[in-house]
Each structure stands twice: as C-alpha cells, then as structure tokens.
Amino acid sequence: MSDQFHNKSVKAYFDSQPESTKKALGELRNCILEAAPDAIEMFNYQIPAYALVEGGKRDQQIMIAGFRKHVGLYPHPAVMEHFEDELSGYKRGKGSVQFPLDKPLPKKLIIRMVKYRIQLLKTRG
C-alpha cells in the first residue's frame, strides 16, 4: 500500500495525487458540494468522504478516490442502479463507478447522482 493511503486529511490526500488525478478529484468534490452544499467533508476508509446528513454513517456518505488512470465515485448501490443506463460506458461496481482521467467528467450526471442520493436519504426518513 502506498503512502497516499495513510494521509489523515482530504487536503493531504489530494496533494499526494498526480496532478491529473488531483484535478479530477477537485472536480468531483466541486460536483458533490454543488449538489450538496451542506455536505460534511471528512476522511473515512482512507479516502475523502462527504456526509450528506449530519453525523452521516457510511451509507449516508458519498466517497471519492484517486488512482493512476481514473477517479472513483462511490455514491451507493441504489444510485448506481438508478443511473445504470447513463453509466453504461464506464467501468462500474455494485456501488461505484470509475471515471477515466483521459475523458472529461460527466459533471451534470454526477450532480444528478448526488441529488438523487440525497432524495433517497430524505424519503427513508
């Protein structure tokens, strides 16, 4: 495991990334905060996380991570399922999507995904 996973803060995590990854992470962060201006930025599971509700636990957070060739967005399996068709061109996991660094981020889609997650959290009570 590289040193980047031992950082204690989001800023240190971003700063430890290659420039293209750092730029994409910043864009992801901006999308999340545009959709959820009250999100609480934290460092969880060794990656940046954004609690969408006060005291938000893992399933109430959206996380992001940087890699050599992509950035990862971890919104929640329900979000991934809802946006499945629009995400078909990307490598995906049950609760995650990888956005390659050599293509522009789909910012409008990311913002909609975050807003959808907030909506799900509100309707759950």
The pLDDT assigned to 2 comes to: 35
- Walking along the chain (125 residues) 10 residues at a time, the average pLDDT comes out as 51 94 97 96 91 86 96 97 97 97 97 97 79
The pLDDT assigned to 125 comes to: 52
Long-range contacts of the stretch 46-50 (C-beta < 8 A, 24+): 46/5, 46/6, 46/7, 47/13, 48/10, 48/13, 48/14
**Structure-block tokens of residue 49:** 């996380």
**This prediction's pTM:** 0.90
Annotated domain spans of the chain:
3-124
The pLDDT assigned to 109 comes to: 98
CA dihedral of residues 76, 47, 26, 120 (deg, nearest 10)? 20
**Structure-block tokens of residue 89:** 């061109």
CATH 3.90.1150.200 fits 3-124, yes or no: yes
